Structure 1
Amino acid sequence: MNAHHQTFDVAVIGGGLVGKTAALALTQGGLRVALLAQPCVPPPADAAFDARVYALSASSQALLERLRVWQALDPSRLSPVYDMRVFGDAHAELHFSAFQASVPQLAWIAESSLIEQALDAALRFQPNLTWLDARAQALDVKASGATIALANGRTIETDLVVGADGAHSWVRAQIGSKVLRRDYQQTGVVANFKAERPHGETAYQWFSGGEIVALLPLPDGHVSLVWSARTEHADALLEHDPAKLAAEVERVTQGTLGALECVTPAKGFPLALQTVDRLIAPRVALVGDAAHLIHPLAGQGMNLGLRDVMSLAEVVAQKEAFRDLGDTVLLRRYERSRREDIRALMLATDGLQKLFAVPGPLARVVRNAGMAMIGAQPLVKRWLVSAALG
């Protein structure tokens, strides 16, 4: 074989959690997979926790278990969520309970680097997987296959290209999928804190003045902050020293967890709603942020991306013997399987963000009445929990 030319069944472009999970799922399905990505850079040894954490749903846990990644995670770095308390304007409150919903937990909170390092370890044991630390710079799709030219001068041939390369996806640009993006004019500010009072494995969320503040439980009495703040306010928060930021979080969360000590530097990332007109093209499928972006208020973005991976792997596994991996008929099955889930979650998160961003006393009354109505309906609450669990 020409050393400058290799052939694969699938090429996964993008090395975040979704891309690496896709590569692992497909190679465990017996396919020869090329992964254009780099291994995770572990956080500094003295870092208390990774600044970026995810709330993993039951469906995400099940996928990672099936891939034998979940079992490799250090349980002392995971925190279950048994309860969720949501506070609106004035004293409106919603309480979701794993016990009342008859589920083991509502979610698991896990650090991004913890999951990615476990994925890297699992990928290294896959004989059918090839890591390619090179950037794709040209994609040529023909009836016989897709050719990807790499920046290092090599080329690869593949039957299927999976675009998992994020919100500004290069793969998506190559297939001409149109993007509709709306900037929320907000920045997500993330940091971790040591809390004075025990969090009781409870996730807290406050809707206040058009902004959303969440404290997610971490092990050993720590919590992770996700503050969806107006961009100019977020810029000010990111300039605070750790003590001033902690004091501000204590104030806006009404001292619920007592004194807070900031243990990781705050980081910010812009928030936007992003949809694409199609998830597929001949020999190409998009997954994760390349396919959709939603507001983080429900903590479901990563779960949505992992459900993309689950659906794509299932469609590929059920492929008829005569059908090519890049067959548009096959890929349309994947696109159809994802349309409703993506649309429903986008409408829900965008609608909630809009509802709580509307100023004025009338809007406040409507929000409080809506929260009270949901709180009084156990069946509605159970449906919301089941939707969040995936």
Structure 2
Amino acid sequence: MTTAMRDVPRSGNRDERQGAAIVVGASLAGLMTALALSHAGVDVTMLERSGAAPRARKGAALGGVSEGLLSRITGSRHAQGDSAPLSSVAPGVQSWMAVHARLRAAVDADPYIELRPHTLVRSVDQDADSAWVIASDQQTFRGDVVIGADGHGSVVRVGVAPDKPDATFAGYLIWLGLTNESSLASSRRLPRDVDILSGGGDYLLGYPLPGPDGSVALGSRQVGWAWYDASHNDLLCETGSVVGNVVRRSLTSGDIPEATLRELADKAEDLWPSPWREAILDCIERRAVIGTPIAEYVPDKLVNGRLALVGDAAHVPTPMTGSGFSASLHDAEAVAEAIAAGVRGSTVAQALGEYERKRLGNVRGMVQSGQQFSRSFTGRAA
């Protein structure tokens, strides 16, 4: 069988560019890593298994995101123009979709980044001179490095840590939903910040978000919620969302039985105050609910030769830490700095070793702090 080899061609002045990287995954960590690498003078090919548009993440929100932080990673040339500045209702809280759109616009505008959708990576490998990935259609993409930004089920992680390739199920899921403020009774005023509530052994995070058009005007906003629940693990196993101790996928609305939705509605009536109760009931009535099993991964290594990991491919904390986005940003900047230094100076593998030494202790501590919450919440032993 013929294998197609690609060496990442680019437009622009090649004399001013040094090195080529393959980034696997085009979610937040992958987009930030590609931008950081391009800014450092490295050409990037991104491989994304899904289509050009990301799958909607109903109700998913990110903490600690500011306009200045995004402008730093997108670069000043992308901070204005076609990408409008983000708006925020609660301080530092943004919808996942809005942040992704901002990063994606910057990637699309960068002539040194090529994003190839519908490219499923099957394996990674390397030798003394380069690293490469092989896609499901047998194409091979080769560069100086391969960066895994392919999430908690990372394929690249198998090449970096073959003795510890899987993130493990933390023992609970998060129900997520998103509704319009206009769907709530006018008397149900939203708080100015994130609400963190507990009841019946469960936790609920409720947060106001800008409307679909970015508006923060009263009545035009959205209402997101995340319900931490450790009582439906059997459903996760029955649907194949969790296999053994490994998270495989989220529960879509079609996966959730009517009896489970009725149970959630009854619990919401008992546990949660307004306006979150009304927001949850609205989502349940519209079947606009997803269930995300929580995975965790404490890394022992981030690098193997010319292969490296960033974001959830490298470390998977519970969302309760609120640190996932900022950790991915720091990964992106640190790995780009290391790769640029390695291509221009010492060897790439040695430079990536510096990236690992800089980030490994921090990200291990982040995940382990979240595990303390998970063990307390589920009653699991360490």
TM-score by length of 2: 0.73
Structure 2: state its 5+ residue gaps: 9-19, 211-219, 237-252
Cα displacement string for residues 271-328 of structure 1 (whole angstroms, at most 9, x for unaligned residues): 122223211000011011111111122333233222211221233345573223x32x
Superposed, 1:272-311 pairs within 5 Å as 272-311=295-334
RMSD over equivalenced CA pairs, Å: 3.4
Corresponding position of 1:41: 53
**For 2:275 and 2:133, how far apart are their aligned partners in 1?**
53
Corresponding position of 2:136: 151
Task: Indicate conservation of the 8 Å contact 2:174/2:294, yes or no.
Answer: yes
User: Is the aligned partner of 1:213 residue 2:204?
Assistant: yes
Distance 1:272 1:233, change over 3 A: closer
User: Is the aligned partner of 1:62 residue 2:69?
Assistant: yes
**Aligned residue pairs, count:** 325
Task: Indicate conservation of the 8 Å contact 1:139/1:147, yes or no.
Answer: yes
Distance 1:201 1:164, change over 3 A: same
User: Is the aligned partner of 1:323 residue 2:314?
Assistant: no
Which residue of 170, 177, 193 corresponds with 1:184? Answer: 170
Task: Indicate conservation of the 8 Å contact 2:61/2:224, yes or no.
Answer: no
TM-score by length of 1: 0.72
User: Is the aligned partner of 1:12 residue 2:23?
Assistant: yes
**For 2:140 and 2:370, how far apart are their aligned partners in 1?**
41
- Superposed displacement of residue 332, structure 1: 1.6
Amino acid at match of 2:306: R
Which residue of 60, 80, 88 corresponds with 1:79? Answer: 88
Which residue of 332, 339, 350 corresponds with 2:360? Answer: 339
Superposed, 1:377-388 pairs within 5 Å as none
Which residue of 157, 170, 179 corresponds with 1:172? Answer: 157
User: Is the aligned partner of 1:128 residue 2:128?
Assistant: no
Corresponding position of 1:268: 291
Amino acid at match of 1:127: P
Runs of 4+ in 1 over 6 A off after TM superposition: 241-244
- Identity over aligned residues, as a percent? 23
Cα displacement string for residues 334-354 of structure 1 (whole angstroms, at most 9, x for unaligned residues): 112212321232232222333
Amino acid at match of 1:41: A
- Superposed displacement of residue 158, structure 1: 0.8
Task: Indicate conservation of the 8 Å contact 1:21/1:119, yes or no.
Answer: yes
Amino acid at match of 2:373: L
**Residue 276 of structure 1 aligns to a residue in which SS?**
coil
Structure 1: state its 5+ residue gaps: 44-48, 82-104, 360-390
Amino acid at match of 1:187: L
Amino acid at match of 1:346: V
**For 2:322 and 2:296, how far apart are their aligned partners in 1?**
14
**For 2:123 and 2:375, how far apart are their aligned partners in 1?**
39
**For 1:296 and 1:116, how far apart are their aligned partners in 2?**
17
